[in-house]
Amino acid sequence: MAHRSVSFRQDARARPVAITTGNFLGTRRRLEVAVVNLGTHDVELFLFDTGRLRAITPSIPVGEGPLDIAAADLDGDGIDEIVTADSGANSVSVIFLK
Ligand SMILES: [Ca+2]
């Protein structure tokens, strides 16, 4: 079976632990990917475009020790929010993108 893969090299401290996809830009035209990083306690957003992943925003800070991530339109505006489970902070972060 033929296949190909693409990757995006992150900061060595990032330590990505989970990903999700969603409609973060409100366009639904391309695959948008959110990655949560345990090492830097943040979320990075990527767009799969012309065969490559490219970062589309600066990293977004979340609580300490994030281990999981999900996306859903929580407020019904058509754009997905990002939710992370922050084990080190005993918290949940919700990122609203506008
Ligand atoms: Ca929303």
pLDDT in tens, 86-96: 999 999 999 99
pLDDT digits (tens, 9 = 90+) for 34-43: 999 999 999 9
Give the per-residue pLDDT at 98: 78
- DSSP string covering 19-70: EEEE-SSS--SSEEEEEEETTTTEEEEEEEETTEEEE-S--EE--SSEEEEE
| pLDDT-based confidence at residue 15 (cuts at 50, 70, 90) | very high
**What is the 84 CA–ligand 1 centroid distance (Å)?**
15
**What is the 81 CA–ligand 1 centroid distance (Å)?**
5
**What is the 82 CA–ligand 1 centroid distance (Å)?**
9
pLDDT digits (tens, 9 = 90+) for 22-70: 999 887 777 899 999 999 999 999 988 888 888 888 999 999 999 999 9
3-state class (DSSP) for residue 89? helix
| pLDDT-based confidence at residue 3 (cuts at 50, 70, 90) | confident
